[in-house]
Amino acid sequence: MAANKQRTSFAFAEHRTCVNLTELSTEQLPQDGSIGRRRKFRNGAAVWQPDDRADRIYFLERGEIGIFSGDANGRDLLLQIVKPSQPFGELCFCAEEGGLRRTFARACADAAVIEIAYSVFVDYLRRTPDAVESLVCTFCLRLSDCETRSEVLAHRGAQERLGRLLLQLAGKGVKTQKRTDDVVVHATHVELARMAAMSRPHVTLTLGHFRERGLIRYSRGTPLAIRRGALSAYLENAIRIAHFKKSPTDR
């Protein structure tokens, strides 16, 4: 394992014994290119389609990949944004033999990836215990993300849904130096709309509402800065008010 590999951060105190775990990354692959093949995808090109077999795993070397599903209205729902060094397509380990992807992946920028057949990667894992540990860590973190996203999508109100999504993204963002509670998130209005299963105009309107109340900061050409404490308190207060307004028979 590379000596400079960044450790994984866990949110819960009971996971302090796990701080030495790392997510699976390109750093743990053989550097001689002995497994997998390198492929390039132009911006917008499909890496896989819903009817493709789930029989390989990928690692992103350069660029950005989006994993999408479709909602009931035929719109793209953005499930995951893959960043350089990260694996994707790892659900091939969960698919039945001959199972299909059921999602689609496409390049959101010109991308270079390492494509590894399932059987080849399994042989590599059998010979590399550290990689197995990292794969388990990756699965756990992504399962946690999926559970949080499910909670986000369960909210029907635009403010609650988008606000919860922003808090989830802020958990992985970068703190600003101006305010200790501010976290920078690099996501466009289009990406937020796809992640929240909302229209872009609705997202823009809701973000404007948050900005007017000082819960977030952004301007053209600058990233989104989220005041986590203030936004969380605002959402909790909104939920309490909504609950109070319910009639006794609805409670």
Task: Provide the percentage of residues in the chain whose pLDDT is more than 70.
Answer: 80
- Structural domain count, the chain: 2
Same domain, residue pair 199 and 223: yes
Same domain, residue pair 17 and 141: yes
In whole angstroms, give the CA distance from residue 135 to residue 139.
6
Domain end call among 92, 118, 149: 149
* pLDDT for residue 169: 87
Residues whose CB falls within 8 Å of the CB of residue 28, separated by 6 or more in sequence, listed in order: 1, 2, 5, 128, 130, 131, 134
Same domain, residue pair 140 and 196: no
Same domain, residue pair 223 and 124: no
> Token pair 């394992």 is at which residue?
1
- Report the 10 Å Cβ neighbour count for 216: 22
Specify the CATH number for the domain of residue 214. Answer: 1.10.10.10
Give whole-number Cα distances, 30 to 40, 132, 231, in Å. 19, 14, 44
Domain end call among 80, 114, 149: 149
In whole angstroms, give the CA distance from residue 209 to residue 215.
9
Same domain, residue pair 179 and 220: yes
Give whole-number Cα distances, 213 to 61, 152, 209, in Å. 40, 21, 7
Range of the domain at 114: 13-149
Helix (H, G, I), strand (E, B) or coil at 107: strand
Residues whose CB falls within 8 Å of the CB of residue 12, separated by 6 or more in sequence, listed in order: none
Q: Is residue 106 in a domain?
A: yes
Same domain, residue pair 22 and 50: yes
Same domain, residue pair 141 and 163: no
Same domain, residue pair 30 and 136: yes
Same domain, residue pair 241 and 184: yes
Q: In this structure, what token pair is assigned to residue 216? A: 């977030």
Same domain, residue pair 229 and 140: no
Same domain, residue pair 21 and 132: yes
Strand spans (E) along the chain: 37-41, 46-48, 56-62, 65-70, 76-82, 87-88, 104-107, 111-117, 174-175, 182-185, 216-217, 224-227
State pLDDT tens for residues 165-216.
Answer: 999 888 876 665 555 678 888 888 998 998 888 889 999 999 999 999 999 9
Domain end call among 149, 180, 200: 149
Per-residue pLDDT of the chain (251 residues; tens, 9 = 90+): 343 444 444 444 444 445 446 788 998 899 888 899 999 999 999 999 999 999 999 999 999 999 998 755 567 788 888 989 999 998 888 776 568 898 999 999 999 999 999 999 999 999 999 999 899 888 888 888 888 888 888 888 889 999 999 998 888 766 655 556 788 888 889 989 988 888 899 999 999 999 999 999 988 878 899 998 999 999 888 766 655 555 555 54
